[in-house]
Amino acid sequence: MIRLDGVSRVFGAGPSRVPALTDVTFGVDKGEFVVLTGASGAGKTTLLRLLYRDERPTEGAIEVAGFDLRAMRRRDVPRLRRSIGVVFQDAKLLAGRTVFENVAFVLRVLGTPRREITPRAFAALKAVGLTARAQADPHQLSQGEAQRASLARAIVKSPALLIADEPTGNLDEDMAEEILAIVKDFWTRGTTVLFATHQSKLVTLLKRRTLRLEHGLLVKDEG
């Protein structure tokens, strides 16, 4: 599903050169649940952005869901992203649209047949336990609910890969565990998951294969 080979990403040039990632190599098989950890600024977000082609590597090769990201043309990026669901620390729900409309928005934008939109959106909301809040506005949601809505939006298109960039970063322990449970549920249904967190408690709780980054270097790959 994911293959990185000698990947480096450097920002800037000359004296202001900042190596965000250096010579990172690893693979993630289909159906795996992998935790990506490291302190803030270790390079987790940069690595994840490389995977959905929001950044390009300075060196090295990347393959995701069968796409060669280095050789990929800009116009092919949407095809890659349709197979990836992304969740961030900030839920990024759209104001002026209800929870249901936020989830359905993804399907509309991708040209899903009209008759499929409502059932699929409600199925995604049910999977995250938010059907009762479908007509709520984003500002009416708690942080945990907002993050669940964000998860529903990420999985409504049935992605092969779910990338979660610190989705529990703004949540308390109980809410974080709720989110984790939902993500694990997606994983058990066959979605490959790459879960980034700096919280060591969560890493311990998850008991999954763990990749550890320190100053842009992959220092540990265990589990």
Partner 1 sequence: MLSFLLNEAFRDLRRAGRVGVSAILLIALSLAALGGFWLLSLNLGRAVAQWRDRVRIVAYLRDEVPPGQVDDLLGRIEGVGGIQRVRYVSKNEALQVVKRALGRQADVADQLPRNPLPASVEVTPDPAHATPDGNRELVQRLAALPEVDDVQGGAHWVEGLAQFQRLFQLVGLGVGAVLALAAILTVTTATTLVLHLRRDEMEIMRLVGATESVIRLPRVLQGLAQGLFAGTLALAVLEVAFALVAPRLELLLPVTLGLSRAVFLSIPQMLALIGGGATLGAMGGLLATRQAAA
Residues that bind partner 1 (CB under 8 A): 52, 75, 78-84, 86, 92, 94-95, 105-106, 108-111, 153, 157
Beta-carbon contacts of residue 54 (< 8 Å; ≥ 6 apart): none
Alpha carbon distances (Å) from 179 to 71, 115, 195: 35, 29, 11
- Which is closer to partner 1, CB of 105 or CB of 187? 105
Least separation, in Å, of the C-beta of 124 and partner 1?
13
Alpha helices in the chain (DSSP H): 44-51, 77-82, 99-109, 114-127, 143-155, 173-188, 200-206
- Which is closer to partner 1, CB of 83 or CB of 199? 83
- Which is closer to partner 1, CB of 138 or CB of 144? 138
Least separation, in Å, of the C-beta of 78 and partner 1?
4
The residue among 81, 69, 65 whose CA lies nearest residue 30 is 65
Least separation, in Å, of the C-beta of 106 and partner 1?
5
- Which is closer to partner 1, CB of 118 or CB of 200? 118
